[in-house]
Chains A and B, each alone.
Chain A
Amino acid sequence: MTRYVMFRAGQAVLVLWAAFTAAYVLLRLLPGDSILIKFQNPELGLSPQQIAEIRAHYDGGASALATYLDTLSGFLRGSLGYSIDTGTPVTERLAEALPETAKLASAGFGLAVLIAVAIAFAAASSRSSWIRGALLSVPSLFVSVPVFWLGILLIQVFSFRLGLVPVIGGSAAQQLILPVLTLAVPISAPIAQVLARAVDQVRAQPFVPVVAAKGASRQWILWRHVARNATLPALTMAGLVFGELIAGSVVTETVFGRNGIGRLTEQAVNAQDTPVMLAVVVLAAVVFVLVNLVVDLLYPVLDPRLKAAP
């Protein structure tokens, strides 16, 4: 087990380094840079020569490799540099944005799991094939709804028409309701699909008729035996949808005017604020790696058969 964890940790470090390097190279290859974008603002009236001086002040004219190594060692020491757009340390901006997105993403993910479980098990316990079919087509509908459109629709109906939840002002909890719903709907779809299919597969296994023959009820079988075995594939899927959580939060945070990692990313991209973009990419990679590591380590806990394996 220890060897397995060590191996996975080493793998994680490699993935992070690769993500950092790829992002670094790509960002450097982009035309223009944030210094030009920011200081070419005509209202500042700077000459190209003055802009060149400002640039020299920022990167000191060091070679590409030296700046790369410098940035890398900065990241290792936890110093992520300064946002060129606002002049604040990147760590400060992340610290402000991260809790907002963490709240949104965790609540959104929690709700998505609830919706997925509800759909999959309602379909499994339903005796009418018509209802079952209808329920199983819900995920396809959910996954094809654009987040942007859904957000606007929810705001229009629940806030502007019915006046149930304020979008502007309102308490922290009220401000979370609609964004969480917006984010949860598309995320729940792939989890629900995988869960429903897994439930079907487990039910076809020979042990199910055995348990039934011993006198277990349909519900007992579903919740005590099938559910437990069907969670594994769904858990894998849950680890994978994390990427969609980040992508979804970019749109959701913009529509709802929330200041999280998604909005930060959008603004950094607009201003080509390289240090912020690099930090966001590495942060996303870290969380992705961690989530998947946790998922892998959870497998043996859920399924005793996997305990001995690796």
Chain B
Amino acid sequence: MSRSRLRSTAVAGAAMLAVVGLLGACGGAGPAGAARAAGEPVYGGTLTYLEHQPPTCLYLPAAGFYPNGGILNQITDKLTWQNPETLEIEPWIATRWEVSEDATSYTFHLRDGVTFSDGTPLDAEAVAANFDVYGLGDEKLKLPVAEFVNNYERSEVVDRLTVRFHFAKPSPGFLQGTSVIGAGLVSKKTISLPYEEQCQLKNIAGSGPFTVRHQVVDKEVRLAAREDYDWAPPSSEHQGRAYLDEIKIIVTPEDNVRVGALTSGQADFVRYVQAYDEETVKSAGFTIYAEPTRGVNNGLYLRPGNSILKDPDVRQALLAGTDAREVVDTLFTPSYPVATSVLSHLAQGYVDLSPRLAHDPDKANALLDKAGWARGADGVREKDGRKLRLGVFVAGPQPLSKQTLELIGQQWAELGVKLEIRPADAGTQAVDIKDAEKTPLQHSMVGRADQDVIKSHFHSENRDAILSDDEKLDRLLAEQSAEPDVAARNAKVGEIQRYVIDQAYAIPLFEEPQVYGGAPHVHGIAFEAVARPWFYATWKS
């Protein structure tokens, strides 16, 4: 019944809003302000969303890659919802849960009546099947374990709508783990497919507010609203089906084509607006969304296994000799806050260490002199006939990585340190990145809104950014990860940040955001805690 009525309301609403918009423009009111106060949401319409890269493998634990997450966040739901404002874990598919005292068992009570897009029910068995794979992997199907589940032992289907998970060790990070992008729930049929098939979008059946309508590989994905969707997180203001009828995700690799298409009205929303394009977007009356990623900051990570960097004085010197403020002021915008610790100031357990990150070239030079590196004829320091030369790869996923490294290279040249910047050739990088001698520095970051993010980045069994041989660091990270008490856990995270800076394993640069641009007629864009867009309550006026 309501479809046609909704439509006519939509048209009337749109016409009214157009008038308001015109008046606003005449009066010279700020368009961003006008967009916020745009009135009642309307149903219908297609959102054209331009992506920077094509999606790769869509197996859910690999959803961290933003082009993958931008699709999967629309077509899957999670057990829990992490409120991006408060970072609290709120109900979603699980209406409530119990966690054992020592955080080794979790019981989730599921919402009734939820179905996957292939028609099968989202029940305890399906959830158990999902997490068995995410927690243990599947050798036969070649499915790897997910990064966000640690110490997983087994699942237990208590009844049709109750599922319990057991862990070998206390795992306080698991509750947040059920809310992350990679923990999207898929049907039992999907989760029992081999890796290669779970990689393909056409095989992914989720329970999200949108379903896949059409895909042209590497070019375009069209998502359609699911009419019977009725299980949004209870804390969402909007309930029922999504406002939009359709989302068209189009891969547009060229930066200035994305921005030009947005400002000329050919697209509604774009991902990855470069820092130097932000002003163009804003001055055209469009909105910049710079969303924090709440994790380990964009920075250089120093490998103590390298024969030059094994000397803590050299690492301290590089930390003191790097001017992160200059990097941000020269290359970036206020959307990229200067780092004040290893973690983003919005990360859980963050402590402010800015006094210890101050730029101090005198200290840097003194430390290098003390370490026995003397300036050679060409200005580059030497010791025992060896030049103070360090190599780093340009980081493909990091914004303006090459320019950032070039600027730091200039800062270091004044200290007498030569930074060798290598292009990100995938093959060479894959071989050399795990070799501290060939790659003494890594330029990277990780986003995730949980204390465990620091473990993901530094632990020798996770991403291992510094190719750690530091047993103390591994121990601290493991203790943090197994601490059920939140206050004690945050204190541990603070201790780790201090330790990493004490040891100068990291030169934090800035808090890396995901920067999106949106047209003034697009409203209700939401983001999950690590800046992937959620178009459920999005509407166009």
Which A residues are closer than 8 A to B by beta carbons?
A: 30-33, 36-46, 48, 50, 54, 57, 82, 85-88, 93, 96, 152, 155-156, 159-161, 163, 166-169, 254-259, 263-264, 267, 270-272
Contact = CB atoms under 8 A, between A and B. Distances in A.
Contacts of B263: 160
Contacts of B56: 85-86
A257 B429 contact: no
Given A160-B260, A169-B48, A272-B427, A43 B65 contact: yes
Nearest to A53: B139
Interface in B90-105: none
Given A41-B62, A159-B266, A254-B253, A264 B218 contact: yes
A258 B144 contact: no
A257 B147 contact: no
Contacts of B197: 87
Contacts of B50: 168
Given A88-B200, A167-B260, 10 more contacts: A33-B430, A37-B427, A39-B144, A42-B462, A50-B144, A86-B57, A168-B252, A169-B266, A257-B219, A267-B54
Given A152-B256, A168-B250, A255-B254, A163 B264 contact: yes
A41 to B, nearest CB: 7
B47 to A, nearest CB: 12
B261 A168 contact: yes
B216 interface: yes
B427 A30 contact: yes
Nearest to B197: A87
A257 to B, nearest CB: 5
Contacts of B158: none
A42 B433 CA distance: 12
B175 to A, nearest CB: 20
A46 B266 contact: no
B197 to A, nearest CB: 7
A32 B254 contact: no
A267 B430 contact: no
A168 B267 contact: yes
A163 B54 CA distance: 26
B5 to A, nearest CB: 28
B19 interface: no
Interface in B122-153: 142, 144-147
Contacts of A44: 61-62, 144, 147
A254 B48 CA distance: 19
A93 to B, nearest CB: 8
Contact of B254 (A39, A169, A257): A257
Given A32-B427, A43-B147, A271-B426, A86 B199 contact: yes
Interface string B138-178: 00001011110000000000000000000000000000000
Given A43-B147, A169-B48, A259 B217 contact: yes
A167 B218 contact: no
B465 to A, nearest CB: 8
A31 B462 contact: no
Contacts of A31: 427-428, 431
Interface string B200-236: 1000000000000000111100000000000000000
B469 interface: no
Contacts of A264: 218
A167 B267 CA distance: 10
A308 B363 CA distance: 86
B195 interface: yes
A283 B348 CA distance: 53
29 contacts: A31-B427, A31-B431, A32-B429, A36-B427, A37-B426, A39-B144, A40-B434, A43-B62, A44-B61, A45-B462, A85-B56, A86-B56, A86-B200, A86-B217, A88-B217, A96-B217, A159-B261, A160-B264, A167-B257, A167-B261, A167-B266, A169-B248, A254-B254, A257-B252, A257-B254, A258-B219, A259-B219, A270-B426, A272-B426
Contacts of A40: 430, 433-434
Contacts of B464: 42
Contacts of A152: 254, 256-257
Contacts of B256: 152, 156
Contacts of B430: 32-33, 36-37, 40
A88 B147 CA distance: 25
Contacts of A258: 219
Contacts of B257: 152, 155, 167, 255-257
B67 interface: no
B64 interface: yes
A165 to B, nearest CB: 10
A31 B195 CA distance: 26
Contacts of B182: 43
Contacts of A45: 144-147, 461-463
A156 B260 contact: yes
